[in-house]
Amino acid sequence: MSSPVGSRDKRARVEEIQGAVPVRTTQQRLPPELDAPSRDRGSRASSAETKAQSRGDGDSCQGAPKTGQYLELDRLPEDMLHHIHSLMPVQDAARVACVSRRFLRSWRCYSNLTLNLETLGLIGHSSVRSEMRYINRVDQILSNYSANGMKVKTLKIDLMYCRSVSASYLDRWLRIAVTSGINELSLVLCSSLKEKYCFPCSLLVDETTTSSIQSLCLVACIFHPIETLGCFTRLKSLDLIFVHITEEGLQQLLSKSSGLERLQMYSCSEIICLKIPCTLQKLKFLAVKSCHKIQVLEINAPILSTFHYNGFPLEINIIDPSQLKDVYLASSSPSRILSYGRAKLPSIASNVERLTLRSRGENVNTPMLPHKLLHLKSLEIKLQRSGCSSVYDIFSVVSFLDASPVLESFILHAQRDTIMRDCVAGDDLNYRRESVYQHDRLRRVKFTGFHSAKSLIKLVIYILESAPLLESLTLDTASGYRGKPGDTSKCTALREWSKCCRMSERDLKDAEGAVEAAGRYIAWRVPSAVEFKVLEPCRQCNIGNLYWS
């Protein structure tokens, strides 16, 4: 029969972990056998401990194998054990604390807190009562930390589904976290919060607190940095998402963050002229997305290697593009992003090696220009529907191919109704054409959404006749993206539902025509050394549709 002390021990552990209260309050006392090792634990605890040690189980974990195959935690130094525990996700750290005395002691000073519906066991609760329960639980956890003088090194609070959290709660939580010398802070608020929350920048005046912050992520709040802002000497990553911040406030913040390596701005609607100052000597990654009021973007970061932009084409000036290797340009509304990229990239990103272009409703053909992308190795173009009838000639992307003499990989995603639907008439493609350029480095080519449009077939033929060392050519006739190209026997595309995109009757008929066109105009042109695949729509997902009946 187990001892009462042992039963109380287990109940205390489970209640503490399930209640998501990482530290005990000053009024709580541990059972005797969980207190300091030097304290007398009583005969029952000593007996239980002696039995555990006789099994070689220094941590007295229930269900431990008797064969001796276990980790002897007693042999590890305390600081090493704490470090191992700190590297675990919060749920794993809580679980291991349920079965290990030493990890339980470590759990009470666990410094990496990720507080969301999942970690607090409240998934599926959406009522106002559940919202208050969530807020109260977060408040209890952070209040316990404050009462016991524990430090919070990482705090990630997700309040995306809380529409009524008051500013007083948020102010208190941030004060507890920031004053304890936090390293990583992430505050995610609901975009439809009843009253927009203003981040208390007064907490960021003391440099003893700001100098410890390495990562800062703010979502859906007001952030107005003040002149007396402390220096963020260790800040490496900054994310501002749906944040109301002025140009002056942003410049104030950036001027205090000379060590910044990663900056992402999403839907910051008050910025018109965005300037990245030369003081950001370590900035490597910059993403500016859906900041629709921006008209001028000036970048003076000497070692910037990755640049992502999503929005309307604008005036982009990169002072020193020598280290810029990865570029992503996209537009969420009808625009001329392909033409813009072809004209501007040779000057603003002359050394780009990986280029991704995403266009919605491209309505102007890509021009043939003399400027080259001499270092481009990987090119990916995504054409998405816009709701408007398209007049774009897909063959005009040859302008990018011919501008890239060292291109190795080319991927084209074309959703239905994104390119001109010029039909093939008779055998007008059964001829060989002389290619002006030779793409001696091009090895891998893939088309998603391939159909029987004449311009698309011409593009494939062009590639076959100008890439003598081509290794693989994949023509995917499905309109969606597959998880594993080539697997048409079962669903692999959408990971959330484990299903491919279900195709309409029209799409299925288009796919049937695409397969026929590939066999008639392309297959016989493919050299035997090239791995050639024509992928049909997933039969499992579209079973019962007209095409497969």
pLDDT of 37 above 50: no
Say if CB 182 and CB 210 are below 8 A apart: no
State the average pLDDT over residues 140-145.
Answer: 86
Query: pLDDT for 107-121, tens place per residue?
Result: 666 788 888 888 777
CA dihedral 522→525→531→535, nearest 10 degrees, is 10
pLDDT of 238 above 90: yes
Whole-angstrom Cα distance, residue 257 to residue 240?
A: 14
pLDDT of 398 above 90: yes
Query: pLDDT for 84-105, tens place per residue?
Result: 777 777 667 767 777 777 777 7
Phi then psi for 198, rounded to 5 degrees?
-100, 115
195 by Cβ neighbours in 10 Å (0-12 / 13-18 / 19+) ranks as exposed
> Rounded mean pLDDT of the chain?
79
Q: How many domains does the chain have?
A: 1
Residue 208: inside a domain: no
Residue 426 has a CB neighbour count (10 Å cut-off) of: 6
* pLDDT of the residue at 67: 44
Comparing 48 with 126, the larger pLDDT belongs to 126
Residue 413: inside a domain: no
* pLDDT of the residue at 333: 76
Q: Given the structure tokens 């559940």, which residue do they identify?
A: 130
Residue 46: inside a domain: yes
- CA separation, residue 368 to residues 75, 343, 378, 529 (Å): 69, 9, 19, 31
Residue 83: inside a domain: yes
Residue 444: inside a domain: no
Residue 72: inside a domain: yes
Comparing 223 with 501, the larger pLDDT belongs to 223
Complete DSSP assignment for 417-448:
TSS--PBP-TTTT-S----SS--TT--EEEEE
Comparing 20 with 8, the larger pLDDT belongs to 8
- CA separation, residue 528 to residues 83, 247, 525 (Å): 56, 59, 9
* pLDDT of the residue at 71: 55
Question: pLDDT grade, residue 208 (50/70/90)?
Answer: confident
Query: pLDDT for 324-378, tens place per residue?
Result: 999 999 987 777 899 999 999 999 999 999 999 999 878 789 999 999 999 999 9
Whole-angstrom Cα distance, residue 462 to residue 525?
A: 11
pLDDT of 548 above 50: no
Whole-angstrom Cα distance, residue 340 to residue 329?
A: 10
Say if CB 538 and CB 491 are below 8 A apart: yes
Say if CB 443 and CB 409 are below 8 A apart: yes
* pLDDT of the residue at 11: 55
Domain that holds residue 49: 4-107
Question: pLDDT grade, residue 21 (50/70/90)?
Answer: very low
Three-state SS for 267-284 is CCCCCCEEEECCCCCCCC
* pLDDT of the residue at 44: 42
Residue 89: inside a domain: yes
Highest mean pLDDT among 145-149, 441-445, 506-510 belongs to 441-445
pLDDT of 24 above 50: no
Residue 472: inside a domain: no
Say if CB 257 and CB 238 are below 8 A apart: yes
State the average pLDDT over residues 79-86.
Answer: 74
- CA separation, residue 523 to residues 442, 456, 516 (Å): 19, 14, 10
Query: pLDDT for 451-507, tens place per residue?
Result: 888 889 999 999 999 999 999 999 998 865 444 444 444 454 444 444 566 677 777
Query: pLDDT for 273-318, tens place per residue?
Result: 999 999 999 999 999 999 989 999 999 999 999 999 999 888 899 9
* pLDDT of the residue at 87: 74
pLDDT of 49 above 80: no
State the average pLDDT over residues 225-253.
Answer: 95
